[in-house]
Amino acid sequence: MQIWTGQSYPLGATFDGSGTNFALFSEVAERVELCLLAEDGTERAVEITEVDAYVWHVYVPSVQPGQRYGYRVHGPFDPAAGHRCDPSKLLLDPYAKAIAGMASNHRSLYSYSFEDPEQRHEEDSAAHTMHSVVVSPFFDWGNDHPPAHEYHDTVIYEAHVKGLTMLHPDIDDGIRGTYVAMGHPAIIDHLKELGVTAVELMPVHQFVQDGHLVEKGMRNYWGYNTIGFFAPHNEYAYGGDTGQQVQEFKQMVKNLHEADIEVILDVVYNHTAEGNHMGPTLCFRGIDNSSYYRLVEEDRAHYYDTTGTGNSLLMRTPHVLQLIMDSLRYWITEMHVDGFRFDLASTLARELHEVDRLSAFFDIIQQDPIISQVKLIAEPWDLGEGGYQVGGFPPLWSEWNGHYRDTVRDFHRSEPGVLGDFTSRLAGSSDLYQHTGRTPIASINFVTAHDGFTMRDLVSYNERHNEDNGEDGRDGESHNRSWNSGVEGPSEDPEVRALRLRRAKNLMATLLVSQGVPMILHGDEMGRTQGGNNNTYCQDNETAWMHWELDTDQMDMLWFTQQMIALRQKHPIFRRRRFLQGVVREDAGSPLADVEWIGTDGTLMTAEDWESAENKCLIMFLNGSAIPEPTLRGERIVDDSALLLFNASGNDVEFTLPPADHGESWTVTLGTGTTMELGETLTAGQSVTRPSHSLLVLLRPPMSDDEPAGEDHEPTTRA
């Protein structure tokens, strides 16, 4: 075997069409071996003698795609000083583009004795760990290009590759649960008919099946336990784990792009699957523990943990920052993804202790010409002190708006005293984002997400029902802001079922008429239930998978969601690019404000209305003739105007429409709990009785003939 010196950049295994260059960073290493693995498991060690700026490198002309490999790093094993090198452990390449196999919970993966943790355990791990794989970078992308949807036009669909596809009747059994299934016409057709513009995939970076879950016969379903930041998770590959997962992932992205759907990845750069000081040695720990992880300064044998998973990556070291930036650029340039949602993003902002919005991580993102141009979404909290940072991220970022979720849930379960906060969330949460120069797209609005109840369960359960998780029902959020509509769990009572359907529609409609960027949890559009389990992280089964056989209520929910998304996409008033002002503006072309808050009597809400804790009803007026922001071509946007009638109380309420200066006639467009015909006309000053827990959308065209609507509006009719 020929061995050449190779190059220190790029890091990882790089196949150039002839051979493969290997490069690995380790500042603490005293000696590094590249281990090439044959199909029968035999190992050939290649001594790496070249090292530049702590990067060990070698070029092997004979190594081709599909070759499995790993590293053995010789150096200090001194946990008290933060060092845990252990050459008995075959280590993954942090830059591996594909990973084969799955780590077992074998004792050989641990560098300490189970019987006496103070004693070293030097059993070889090669047969029980995961292996890095050399991949070919070549793929026929054809004319693939990013859909590049404007943020304010975006509707995000949070989805799980396996959960979404595992039970679909039109997908062959053999490919269900894979990237191939995610790119299947049956899935893409559903997404297109629904009207979403982007899928946000739950973690697809290579992750580990936690040993304690495997021992209980369960699995890490969600995938928030990353070990490979460049490698698509191999269990979602139809064609095996020898590099085929890369090709399948690229084809999935290509198929979704052809359907004009963006791909956003939920990424976990805050920690790794190696856990705390009692965890396995799989990769980073054995390569250079103190460079990759935050350690407790006064006790460097232990990890500083702000994630609740045992460790946190050390964001102030250049090589960790380089790893994350290289990973992000790789997924954009080589895998063609369109954005990222950063799990527990507050951890990424921690350089010393507190969350620092001017940390090096944000500085590097801001100046990067590639990463800064895709969609960047933060989960703006972690478990550390000061970790809840909704509204605290820099201007380039959007955020999961936890305030939006909590307020909308409270309003629609008739909690007192939330009306004012509810209107702030409807209007785009300017109180959270405007002070930093951001616009409504900073707010990723959501009512439900993977972590918590589904929308159907939110209106069907008061309590979590997580007994199947094996933790005596103690896991998961206990304060869900849910209401079971009168009966806990499944019910055949027609009144209870009707109320639940109406309330679920109210939540979905509110989400889709709110300023900001809506995110829908997969399955909420058709009433998916998890049986009251609000923490399905370990339920890789039909509890968490999406069921596609729909009853009448579920079909109704699906139709309603499709109509609401279509309404949003048709009308710019629901997806403004700038915050609503609530004042009359001379440059807006209307004598009325862009938004008005109107009481049930048809007049502007008074201070008494706002201050009443028991007030759970209002009318929101959105003025389609008062949108000052121009289009990209410079024309002023003019749209239909809307009245949104909200009744979150438990009683029927009489609403009086505002006077004729707001519009002489209004068209019933969509609603919940209504006996009105879609397309029916209501007039200024008319009184209408709205049932408890209901919502009504009324539209009217611009009032002057010389202000045509931005798009023609034809009310949808339905038997």
Contact 718, 533 (CB under 8 A): no
Same domain, 554 and 422: yes
DSSP label at 34?
A: E
pLDDT of residue 674: 74
**Cα–Cα distance measured from residue 158 to residue 450, given in angstroms and rounded to the nearest whole number:** 8
Same domain, 540 and 616: no
Of 134, 172, 150, the closest CA to residue 19 belongs to 134
Residue whose structure tokens are 């707010």: 443
DSSP-assigned letters across all residues of 431-478: HHHGGGT--GGGEEE-S--SSS--HHHHTT-SS---GGGTSTT--S-S
Residue whose structure tokens are 């968490």: 544
pLDDT band at 231 (very low <50, low <70, confident <90, very high): very high
676 assigned to some structural domain: yes
- 3-state per-residue secondary structure call for 102-122: CCCCCHHHCCECCCCCCCECC
- 3-state per-residue secondary structure call for 309-367: CCCCECCCCHHHHHHHHHHHHHHHHCCCCCEEEECCHHHHCECCCCECCCCHHHHHHHH
User: Does pLDDT of 386 surpass 80?
Assistant: no
Q: Hey, what amino acid is at 118? A: E
Q: Is the dihedral of CA 213, 216, 219, 221 positive or negative?
A: negative
Q: Which two tokens stand for residue 664?
A: 């002489």
**Cα–Cα distance measured from residue 503 to residue 648, given in angstroms and rounded to the nearest whole number:** 9
What is the pLDDT averaged over residues 41-67?
Answer: 97
Same domain, 674 and 553: no
What is the pLDDT averaged over residues 557-581?
Answer: 96
344 or 128, greater pLDDT: 128
493 assigned to some structural domain: yes
pLDDT of residue 114: 87
pLDDT of residue 149: 97
Same domain, 445 and 562: yes
User: Does pLDDT of 708 surpass 70?
Assistant: no
Map residue 131 onto helix, strand or coil. Answer: strand
Same domain, 535 and 596: no
Indicate the range of 308-317, 418-427, 567-576, 703-712 predicted with least confidence: 703-712
Same domain, 424 and 506: yes
CATH number for 456: 3.20.20.80
pLDDT of residue 350: 74
Map residue 253 onto helix, strand or coil. Answer: helix
Indicate the range of 145-149, 155-159, 456-460, 637-641 predicted with least confidence: 637-641
Question: How many structural domains comprise the chain?
Answer: 3
195 assigned to some structural domain: no
Indicate the range of 171-180, 212-221, 456-465, 482-491 predicted with least confidence: 212-221
Rg of the chain taking only CA atoms, in angstroms? 27
DSSP-assigned letters across all residues of 537-591: GG--STTTSPP----HHHHHHHHHHHHHHHHHHH-GGGS-SS----S--GGGT-S
pLDDT of residue 298: 94
Q: What angle do CA 151, 155, 159 make, to 5 degrees?
A: 120
pLDDT band at 85 (very low <50, low <70, confident <90, very high): very high
**Cα–Cα distance measured from residue 451 to residue 525, given in angstroms and rounded to the nearest whole number:** 17
466 or 316, greater pLDDT: 466
pLDDT band at 307 (very low <50, low <70, confident <90, very high): confident
Same domain, 490 and 603: no
pLDDT band at 417 (very low <50, low <70, confident <90, very high): very high
What is the pLDDT averaged over residues 527-552?
Answer: 97
pLDDT band at 387 (very low <50, low <70, confident <90, very high): confident
Active site residues: 343, 379
Q: Which two tokens stand for residue 612?
A: 């009443």
279 assigned to some structural domain: no
Same domain, 500 and 631: no
What is the pLDDT averaged over residues 284-301?
Answer: 96
Indicate the pairing of strand 617-622 with strand 636-637: unpaired
Last residue of a domain, one of 75, 105, 134: 134
Q: Could you tell me the residue range of the domain that residue 499 belongs to?
A: 401-570
pLDDT of residue 360: 83
Same domain, 599 and 560: no
Per-residue pLDDT tens over the stretch 475-532? 999 999 999 999 999 999 999 999 999 999 999 999 999 999 999 999 999 999 999 9
DSSP label at 48?
A: E
**Cα–Cα distance measured from residue 27 to residue 25, given in angstroms and rounded to the nearest whole number:** 7
**Cα–Cα distance measured from residue 592 to residue 601, given in angstroms and rounded to the nearest whole number:** 19
**Cα–Cα distance measured from residue 300 to residue 48, given in angstroms and rounded to the nearest whole number:** 29
User: Does pLDDT of 713 surpass 50?
Assistant: no
pLDDT of residue 117: 85
Last residue of a domain, one of 84, 99, 134: 134
CATH number for 92: 2.60.40.10
User: Does pLDDT of 709 surpass 90?
Assistant: no
In this prediction, what percent of the chain has a pLDDT beyond 70?
A: 96
211 or 184, greater pLDDT: 184
Q: Which two tokens stand for residue 692?
A: 């408890």
Residue whose structure tokens are 């993954």: 92
**Cα–Cα distance measured from residue 290 to residue 301, given in angstroms and rounded to the nearest whole number:** 10
Same domain, 565 and 588: no
Alpha carbon 593 to its chain's center: 35
What is the pLDDT averaged over residues 50-60?
Answer: 98
654 assigned to some structural domain: yes
DSSP bridge partners of 688: 655
pLDDT of residue 394: 86
pLDDT of residue 717: 32
Last residue of a domain, one of 549, 570, 591: 570
User: Does pLDDT of 533 surpass 90?
Assistant: yes
pLDDT of residue 308: 87
**Cα–Cα distance measured from residue 110 to residue 100, given in angstroms and rounded to the nearest whole number:** 20
Which helix H or strand E contains 225, and what residues bound it? none
168 assigned to some structural domain: no
359 or 197, greater pLDDT: 197
Q: What angle do CA 271, 272, 276 make, to 5 degrees?
A: 85
Contact 694, 506 (CB under 8 A): yes
User: Does pLDDT of 347 surpass 90?
Assistant: no
389 or 355, greater pLDDT: 389
pLDDT band at 105 (very low <50, low <70, confident <90, very high): confident
419 assigned to some structural domain: yes
pLDDT band at 315 (very low <50, low <70, confident <90, very high): confident
Q: Which two tokens stand for residue 576?
A: 């403004």
pLDDT band at 718 (very low <50, low <70, confident <90, very high): very low
User: Does pLDDT of 570 surpass 90?
Assistant: yes
Same domain, 545 and 585: no
Same domain, 671 and 694: yes
Of 288, 250, 270, the closest CA to residue 94 belongs to 288
Per-residue pLDDT tens over the stretch 606-664? 999 999 999 999 999 999 999 877 766 667 788 999 999 999 999 999 999 999 999 99
State the chain's mean pLDDT as an integer.
Answer: 93
Q: Which two tokens stand for residue 196?
A: 């979403």
pTM of the predicted protein model:
0.95
SS3 content of the chain, % helix, strand, coil (to 5): 25, 20, 50
